[in-house]
Amino acid sequence: MRLACEIARVVSLVSLLAVPALAWQPPRMPDPAKEDYDWRPVARRHGLADADAEALADRKVLMTNEAFKQVFDPYIHTDLPMFITSDSLLAAFHVLYEESVLRLEEVNARRLPQILRFIWEGLEARKPPNDAGGPHARAYRRARILIGTATALLGDEPKGTSAEEAGLIKEEVRKVTAAQTLDPAHIEATLPAWLGPPDETFLGIDYSRYKPRGFYTKSEDLARYFRAVAWLQSIPFRVSRDEELAAALLLGRAADRERFANDAEYLEFREYFQMFRHFVGTLDDWDLLKAAEAAGHARRSDGGLEVIRKRLRERARREGEQPMINDLVRFPPVDPNVPASEPNFRILSAYRTPDAILFHRTTDLRQFPERGLPSGLEVAASLGSDYARARVPGPQRDRVLKVLEETLPLFRGRSLYYDYLDCLRCLLDEPEPDAPAFLKGEPWQAKSCQTALAGWSQMRHTWALQAKQSVTYAGIAFVPAGFVEPEPEFFGSMARLVERTRDRLGRAGALEVDLAKVARDTRRVADILTSPEAQKQGRMALLEACRDDPSEAEWMMLLLACLKVQPQRNEQQAYLKKAAAELRHLAECFDERIVPDNERLRMFLAEHHADIRPLWNGLVEVCRRLETLAHKQLRNAPLTEDDEHFLRSYGTDIAGVMLYGGNAYLAPRDDAPRAIDVHYHPLAGKYLEVGVARPRALYVLYPYKGGEVLCRGAVMPYYEFAHRERLTDDAWKALLDSHDRPGIPEWVRPIVGSTGVGRPVLKEH
Q: 609 pLDDT band (50/70/90 cuts)?
A: low
The pLDDT value recorded for residue 367 is: 87
For residue 221, CA distances in Å to 108, 109, 172, 227 come to: 11, 7, 19, 10
Q: Could you read off the pLDDT of 90-135 as tens digits, one per residue?
A: 999 999 999 999 999 999 999 999 999 999 999 998 888 765 667 7
Average pLDDT over residues 571-597: 85
Average pLDDT over residues 672-698: 95
CB-count burial class (<10 Å; 0-12, 13-18, 19+) for 447: buried
For residue 647, CA distances in Å to 315, 444, 530, 672, 687 come to: 56, 23, 46, 23, 41
The pLDDT value recorded for residue 36 is: 59
The pLDDT value recorded for residue 555 is: 72
Q: Could you read off the pLDDT of 458-516 as tens digits, one per residue?
A: 999 999 999 999 888 786 445 678 999 999 999 999 999 999 999 999 999 888 777 88
Q: 9 pLDDT band (50/70/90 cuts)?
A: very low
The pLDDT value recorded for residue 191 is: 95
Q: Could you read off the pLDDT of 321-358 as tens digits, one per residue?
A: 999 999 999 988 776 666 667 899 999 999 999 999 99
Domain definitions of the chain by residue range = 2-81+669-762, 515-607
Q: Which residues contact 34 (CB under 8 A, 6 or more apart)?
A: 477, 707
The pLDDT value recorded for residue 250 is: 96
Query: With contact defined as beta carbons under 8 Å apart, do 268 and 284 qualify?
Result: no
Angle at 715 between CA 712 and CA 721, to 5 degrees: 150
Cα(420)–Cα(407) distance, integer angstroms:
18
Per-residue pLDDT for 88 more than 80? yes
Average pLDDT over residues 434-459: 96
The pLDDT value recorded for residue 478 is: 54
* Element spanning 615, H or E: helix 613-634
Average pLDDT over residues 278-284: 96
Q: Could you read off the pLDDT of 225-236 as tens digits, one per residue?
A: 999 999 999 999
DSSP collapsed to 3 states, 514-545? CHHHHHHHHHHHHHHHCCHHHHHHCCHHHHHH
The pLDDT value recorded for residue 745 is: 95
The model's pTM: 0.89
| Closest to 612 in 3D by CA, of 729, 698, 534, 508 | 508
Query: With contact defined as beta carbons under 8 Å apart, do 510 and 100 qualify?
Result: yes
Per-residue pLDDT for 163 more than 60? yes
Q: Packing angle between helix 86-124 and helix 515-529, nearest 10 degrees?
A: 100
Q: 497 or 562, which is more confident? A: 497
Query: With contact defined as beta carbons under 8 Å apart, do 382 and 274 qualify?
Result: no
Average pLDDT over residues 286-315: 90
The pLDDT value recorded for residue 127 is: 85
Dihedral sign, CA of 484, 485, 491, 494? negative
Per-residue pLDDT for 271 more than 50? yes
Mean model confidence pLDDT for the chain: 88
Q: 42 or 728, which is more confident? A: 728
For residue 617, CA distances in Å to 102, 174, 609, 654, 657 come to: 19, 45, 13, 12, 9
Q: Could you read off the pLDDT of 703-759 as tens digits, one per residue?
A: 988 889 999 999 999 999 999 999 999 999 999 999 999 999 999 999 998 776 777
| Closest to 306 in 3D by CA, of 199, 314, 194 | 314
The pLDDT value recorded for residue 579 is: 86
Strands (E), 20-104: 61-67, 82-84
The pLDDT value recorded for residue 292 is: 96
| Closest to 701 in 3D by CA, of 26, 54, 98, 61 | 61
Per-residue pLDDT for 19 more than 60? no
Number of alpha helices (DSSP H) and beta strands (DSSP E) in the chain? 30, 12
